[in-house]
Every structure is written in C-alpha cells, then in structure tokens.
Amino acid sequence: MSTHEITTAVNGRSRSAQVQARTSLADLLRAEFGLTGTHVSCEQGHCGACTVLLDGLPVRSCLVLAVQVDGAEVETVENLPDGGLQAAMREEHGLQCGFCTPGLLMSLAHAEREQLPADEVLTEVLPAHLCRCTGYGGIRAAVERHWNGREQR
C-alpha cells in the first residue's frame, strides 16, 4: 500500500495533500479539500454526478485516482461564475433535488467554452448525465434558453 504527496491546482489555487493510492479524485476534492459540491453517486462512471474538469476536459472524478492529478489542474462547480447558465437552470426548473446538478453544470460549462451548438449539447452532452428527478424537461429548456440567449447577444 502506498501513500503519495500530491500537489494540484484546484480552482486556480495550488493545493497539496497526502493520499492513499486508492483514493479517488472525487474523494480527494470532497474530504481533503472540503469541496463538497462534487457528488459521488455510482462510482462506476455512468451517472455523471461526479464530473469535474481535469486540465480543461470533463472527466468522471470517481474514475480518476487522486495520485493521477499531481501537477494537473482541476476545476469544480464551486469555480463556475454565477452566470446565464445557472440563471436559466433556475428559471426553467432544471433542478429538483440538485444532486446531479454540479456534474451536469461542469459538462455544460465545458460545452459552452467549446462553443458546441445547442442541439449537439442536447444530443451528445446531456445523455451522459443521469437525472432521476426532472425527466430532463427543465434541463432541456434551460439549455435552449441559455444557448439561444447567447446567440442573440
């Protein structure tokens, strides 16, 4: 069994920790760094609740070992600016219990940065996230509202 000293930039801030090899990135963020916005749900990589950005790309933090982010950059939901995406989610009732929401927001934020068109967001990004509460109706409406709003600006 090995423990490792790692240093990673989380939300722009350099953080260090001593971790067991088996600790996941999700558990590192939550337990070591107190960033509990990222949620653990299936630990199998298929629900998307734990999604964060690793070196700018969306990953399932339950499937990344903490030791693997030594020297890397991690971005979590706590770092997203309060903007149109969150406002659209709220206005269109795109969340109910909120447990899937942070992971979804990270994927949507990344899609926005990549300038993915709305229909590709709905057909390619959204299906990678499970939501048990909303039936995806409010989420679709929020994406359309925010993406159309951006196009008009």
Partner 1 sequence: MTGLIGSRVPRPQDHRLLRGRGRYVADVPAPGALHAAVVRSPVPHGRITGFDAADSGACALGPQEIAEHTRPLPTAWRLPGQQPDQVPLTAGTVRYTGQPIGLVVAAGRAEAEDAAEQVRLRIDRLPAVFDADAALAPGAPLLHPDNGTNRAGEAHFGDPRAEVEAAIADAAHVVERQLAVQRICPSPLETRGLLAEWDPAVERLTAHISTQSPHVVRQELAAALRLRIDQIRVVAPDVGGSFGSKVGLQAEEVLVCLAAVLLGRPVRWIEDRAEQLLAGYHGRGQRARARLALDADGRFRALHADIRSDLGAFAAQAGSGPAQVSGLTLEGPYRFERAGAVVTGVHTNTAPTAAYRGYGMQESSWIRERLIDEAARELGADPLQLRLRNLVDGPRHRTRTSLVLDGADHAGALRRAAELAGAHRAADEPGVRRGVGVTAASEVTAFAPSALLESFGIDWSGWEGATLRINPDGTVTAHSGVTSVGQGVETGLAQLVAEHLGVPMPWVSVQLGDTATTPHSDLTSQASRSLALAGTALARAADRMRERMRRLAARHLEAAPDAVVLDAEAGSYRAGTGEISWVEVARRGWKGWRRDSAEHVRLEEHVDFDPPAPTFACSAHAAAVAVDLATGQVRVEGYWAVHDSGRLVNPMLAEGQVVGGVAQGLGIALLEEVAYDPDSGRPRAATSPADYQLPTARDVPPVVVEHRCTPSEVIPGGYRGVGEGGILPPPATVAAAVAAAVPEIAAELTATPLTPMRIWAAWDAAQRR
Partner 2 sequence: MKPVAFAHAAPREVPAALQLLSEVDAVALAGGQSLVPQLNLRKVRPRAVVDLNRLTELDHLDIGESAVRIGAMTRMRALERDPGLRRALPVLPQAIGRIADRVVRTRGTIGGSLCHADPAGELPVLAVALGARLHLRSVRGSRVEPAATFFYSAHVTSRARDELLTEVEFPLRQGFRWRFAERSRRAHSGPPLVSACLGVATDGAAITGARLAGGGIRERPMRLPRAEERLRGTRLGTAAADVLDAAERDAEPPAECAYRRALLRALLAEVLSEPFERWA
Identify which of 106, 86, 100 has the alpha carbon closest to the alpha carbon of residue 132: 100
Evaluate whether 105 touches 118 at the Cβ level (below 8 Å).
no
Backbone φ and ψ of 13, nearest 5°: -115, 135
At residue 35, what is the residue type? L
Ordered DSSP codes for 31-45:
IIT--TTS--S-SSS
Q: Which of 28, 33, 49, 58 binds partner 2 (CB under 8 A)?
A: 58
SS3 46: coil
Binds 96, which of partner 2, partner 1, none (CB < 5 to 8 A, cut-off by type)? partner 1
As a whole number of angstroms, the distance between CA 75 and CA 58 comes to: 9
Binds 15, which of partner 2, partner 1, none (CB < 5 to 8 A, cut-off by type)? none
Residue 19 within binding range of partner 1, rule CB under 8 A: no
Residue 54 within binding range of partner 1, rule CB under 8 A: no
Residues 128-147 that bind partner 2 (CB under 8 A): 128
Nearest approach, Cβ of 113 to partner 2 (angstroms)? 14
Nearest approach, Cβ of 22 to partner 2 (angstroms)? 4
Nearest approach, Cβ of 62 to partner 1 (angstroms)? 10
As a whole number of angstroms, the distance between CA 134 and CA 29 comes to: 27
Binds 29, which of partner 1, partner 2, none (CB < 5 to 8 A, cut-off by type)? none
Beta bridge partners of 60: 51
Nearest approach, Cβ of 114 to partner 1 (angstroms)? 19
Of residues 3 and 93, the one with the C-beta less far from partner 2: 3
